[in-house]
Amino acid sequence: MTEALSLDGVTVRRGTKTLLDSIDFSASDADRWAVLGPNGAGKTTLLQVAAGRMHPTSGTATILGEQLGKVDVFELRPRIGLASANLAARIPASETALDAVVTASYAVTGRWRESYDTLDHGRATDLLYAFGVEHLAERTFGTLSDGERKRVQIARALMTDPELLLLDEPAAGLDLGGREELIGALTEIMHDRHSPVVVMVTHHVEEIPPGITHVLLLADGGVVAAGPIGETLTAENLSATFGVRLSLAYDDGRYAARAQR
């Protein structure tokens, strides 16, 4: 089994604050992980380490067979697809949606002097089409709605045909229709056996697309539970993670949670 991501005792500290506390985690082969946890649990920090954009204070992070600290991250990053609010904020508002996708080939945001060939443009257009936003190719990123931006970001994350796909709260801020459409597109990715290993962060079990195979529950920088979704995503584990007594329902591949009465 090939491991796309392996965290071994990963700790991240900033000043006196421990953001991640000795995390052991690995994702391999056809795994599709959802990472859940309350605000401040360390989810984004974990994804930043997984993306090779943050180094552990201690412990070892091995990404696509390369150990962070011993690899040129600029060679590693094109092998990783990342969609996050941080990255989206760096896409210039004046850049077209097509360029926002195409520039992922060089793991940059903002078009400068790179030369892109027609193959790149063809692939970017196909990805915009796959996410239903091809008609927005020439629109500037700054004029897109939140939902349209989320789709463009995921298209961008897939541009380099990555071996590891990291999605940080892909459905955050979307209205119900937008969320459901996005979950539909994500479901296709999860079920496609050619898709890369996926690690997707979310706050809400309702946003877990069918096809997610594993969950990692994080709280206060530590792992509460991790493993196959069927046995790990339980009301008990969820309650321990969020610090609220929750009940959990499952219907037709989708989950819903609410406080116990």
Ligand X SMILES: Nc1ncnc2c1ncn2[C@@H]1O[C@H](COP(=O)(O)OP(=O)(O)OP(=O)(O)O)[C@@H](O)[C@H]1O
Shortest Å distance, C-beta 87 to ligand X = 14
Stretch that binds ligand X, among 42-50, 127-135, 145-153, 230-238 (CB under 6 A): 42-50
According to the binding rule CB under 6 A, does residue 170 interact with ligand X? no
Shortest Å distance, C-beta 38 to ligand X = 7
Task: Choose, by CB under 6 A, the member of 1, 2, 39, 118 that binds ligand X.
Answer: 39
Per rule CB under 6 A, count of chain residues that contact ligand X:
13
Distance CA 103, CA 100 (A): 6
Q: Write each residue from 200 to 219 as x if it is in contact with ligand X (CB under 6 A), else as -, in one continuous string.
A: ---x----------------
Q: Is the dihedral of CA 68, 74, 75, 76 positive or negative?
A: positive
Distance CA 25, CA 35 (A): 11
Stretch that binds ligand X, among 10-18, 103-111, 188-196, 223-231 (CB under 6 A): 10-18
| 3-class DSSP state of 8 | strand
Distance CA 196, CA 203 (A): 22
Stretch that binds ligand X, among 11-19, 132-140, 159-167, 242-250 (CB under 6 A): 11-19
Q: Which helix (H) or strand (E) holds 69?
A: none
* Beta carbon nearer to ligand X, 103 or 237: 237
Q: Which helix (H) or strand (E) holds 23?
A: strand 17-28
| Residues 259 and 245: beta-carbon distance below 8 Å | yes
Q: Which helix (H) or strand (E) holds 241?
A: helix 235-242
CB atoms within 10 A of CB 209: 24
Stretch that binds ligand X, among 9-17, 131-139, 154-162, 253-261 (CB under 6 A): 9-17
According to the binding rule CB under 6 A, does residue 45 interact with ligand X? yes
Q: Is the dihedral of CA 152, 198, 253, 208 positive or negative?
A: negative
| 3-class DSSP state of 40 | coil
According to the binding rule CB under 6 A, does residue 241 interact with ligand X? no
According to the binding rule CB under 6 A, does residue 37 interact with ligand X? yes
* Beta carbon nearer to ligand X, 19 or 217: 19
Distances (CA, A) of 120 to 49, 74, 83, 101, 207: 28, 19, 19, 9, 31
Task: Choose, by CB under 6 A, the member of 1, 2, 17, 176 that binds ligand X.
Answer: 17
| Residues 132 and 177: beta-carbon distance below 8 Å | no
Six-digit token pair at 50?
């997984």
According to the binding rule CB under 6 A, does residue 56 interact with ligand X? no
* Beta carbon nearer to ligand X, 44 or 237: 44
Shortest Å distance, C-beta 220 to ligand X = 9
Stretch that binds ligand X, among 41-49, 102-110, 116-124, 191-199 (CB under 6 A): 41-49
Positions touching ligand X (CB under 6 A) are 14-15, 17, 19, 37, 39-45, 203
